[in-house]
Structure 1
Amino acid sequence: MYALRTHMVVALACALAGGCSTAPADTRPNLVGDMKAPSSEVTTGSLPASGYQLSDNELKYDCRKLTGMMQIRILQVRGYDSNKQASAAARGLQSFATPIWGGTKEGLDPEAQHRKDIAMLEAFNRRLAEKNCKTFDLNAELAATKDTTPTPR
């Protein structure tokens, strides 16, 4: 009788764990907008591809909105330091645990996220140039100290 109860509890626990592994993971909201998958072409103008394709909504943004979004993203990217990221072991444990218990996949590949952020900044900067707006010197702005506000020139 005791063995039967133990087997039932173990079977129930396994069923619950399996159900949790299919639960959708919540992700942290992105301040600028969801990142697009890298694209081989940019739909605007004849400029070379950057790996980030502007959405239809982003193409409608005016100079002020693009500038503000770029300022926020530049400030976020300035804080990136590859030496201060989570260890490979911690990221591995997170990638293992997320499907089972749920949670965010944010931070699993910080290098890829950094590349996406840079590609987005380059695409937005080109869009500012297309609209004859002031653009950012991305190299200078990303190298600046954290406490200075990025300004277009």
Structure 2
Amino acid sequence: MLDIDYAVCFSEANCRLFTRLKKVFVLINLLAGSAAMTTLLSKNATIAAIAGIVVAMISMIDLVYDPGAAAAAHMRDKQAFLSLRSRYSRLSLEGGDSELAKIKMSATHGLQSLARPAHNENLRHHGRKEYLVELSRWEQLVKLFA
């Protein structure tokens, strides 16, 4: 059960992070696009060019990494793990482990920086605080955004 709950925590954290990244990209594109149009109409070519470059760069990053699709994939993984969790009591230990392995094989790869925060969250949820691991500063920062 701990393994399934960990997978749910990990998928959920990745889903939240990628959803927030997508929103940030959309916000930046909207602001930079508006700035480009406004400065273009006011005949300030330098600021319009800078805003245009920002829009192009954010659009390219969004196209290459596609955080919206990553968030959707992690949401599907979370749903698959939750489905297994609901059926787990009716399965044998080997059957449950086999089902978990099948889901993991097709699951989307998440950010490794969220692995230990998800581990700690799962242990807290199950009252096993004595097994918490210390997070690096980078993991704490990524956890903050997720």
- TM-score of the aligned structures, taking structure 2 as reference length: 0.29
- TM-score of the aligned structures, taking structure 1 as reference length: 0.28
- Give the structure with the higher percent helix: 2
Indicate the structure whose relative CO is greater, using CA pairs within 8 Å and at least 6 residues apart. Answer: 2
Higher Cα Rg, which structure: 1
